[in-house]
A and B are shown apart, each in its own frame.
Chain A
Amino acid sequence: MEKFKAYIAIDDTDEIGYFTSTGEICEEIREHVEKSYGQTTSVTRHQLLLHEDIPYTSHNSSMCFTLHASQKEFQELQIFVEEYVLKKSAPSASAGICMGFEKDIVDISALVSYGLDAKKRVLSKERAVATAKEQNLFLKGFHNGGNGIIGALAGVALRLSGNDGRVKGKITLEKELVSVSELLSLGLFDEIRVNDGSALNEKISIIVKEYLKGVCISHKIVLMVEKYGGFYKPLVKENLLDY
């Protein structure tokens, strides 16, 4: 049974003060997919426009991950994701899901443009529906108008761009000092980059006092570090808000 790369994104599933978040719900879906259908990639968080005309809950971010599935598995998954999002969404949420195979997308650059627009402009549901149809993506909204389709489609588009988003979750290590080669050998990151653009000196160790968090750059999961005395240290928290 041939398997193809597919994307799943969700948005707008929570409400202010809700016990869970869109990121957590997406992670639960990813865990189910990984357990039932095979390897997935990490969930990424994609920041969309913050604007008074957009009825987001608190962050206006969309969540996406990728997997490999057959056509039949994908149909099963579609039903699962719909039911799961419906069950887990907050009563006042306006959830949306977007799913599809990369092979079926007609014009990747047009789809990526939609995603980039969602970071700069207020988009309409009509545009989201039309774009999803043009690009052969499944798009569905639930409850309260289903405005989440706008962000869910943007989640797929931005993940597809390979240059947007932070990886959900924080990686901790057992030791504080780690070499560049040691860290890369763990397979958690494709690359380590210095935030000022300077070349990474592999002889310099990285001090990990808190955690490691990846960002998506050039279709790679990259750990951003900064110079810290005679060492490097990973960028965390407020230093990663631009990704």
Chain B
Amino acid sequence: MFDKNGEELVFKYGKKEYQKALEAAALCDFFELDKDEDELIVSTQDASCYNCLFRRWSAQSFTCMKKALI
């Protein structure tokens, strides 16, 4: 699901692969919903990396900062 870029883990599928973002979150032990409701960009019914407190958006995708920290 993620490509390693130096110390960073970058989501392979960009910003609009909603199903892949759900699948990635389902596999992750560190998912946490962003505290700011305004930054939740997809449904909160199921965990999605797109709504995670630890994602850092980039021009093409996002970097998982939690995995980068461990």
A interface list, Cβ under 8 A from B: 16-21, 23-24, 45, 50-52, 56-60, 166, 168-170, 237-238, 241
Which applies to chain A's interface (DSSP): helix, strand, loop or mixed? loop
Q: Which of B2-52 contact A (CB under 8 A)?
A: 16, 18, 32, 34-43
Summed over the interface, the residue pairs from A and B with CB atoms below 8 Å come to a total of 55
B57 and A60 contact, CB distance less than 8 A: yes
A16 and B56 contact, CB distance less than 8 A: yes
A238 and B42 contact, CB distance less than 8 A: yes
- Kindly state the separation between the CA atoms of A34 and B16 in the bound complex, as whole angstroms: 38
CB distance from A97 to the nearest CB of B (A): 19
CB distance from A152 to the nearest CB of B (A): 17
- Kindly state the separation between the CA atoms of A18 and B57 in the bound complex, as whole angstroms: 16
CB distance from A193 to the nearest CB of B (A): 21
- With contact pairs A57-B56, A58-B57, A59-B57 given, residues A170 and B43 touching in the complex (Cβ less than 8 Å): no
CB distance from B39 to the nearest CB of A (A): 6
- Kindly state the separation between the CA atoms of A5 and B35 in the bound complex, as whole angstroms: 31
> Contact string, B47-70, partner A, CB cutoff 8 A, digits 1/0?
000000111111100000110010
Which of these, B16, B37, B55, contacts A58 with CB under 8 Å?
B55
24 contacts between A and B (CB under 8 A): A16-B65, A16-B69, A17-B32, A17-B54, A17-B65, A19-B35, A20-B36, A21-B35, A23-B39, A24-B35, A50-B58, A51-B59, A52-B58, A56-B56, A57-B56, A59-B57, A60-B57, A166-B38, A170-B37, A170-B38, A237-B41, A237-B42, A238-B16, A238-B42
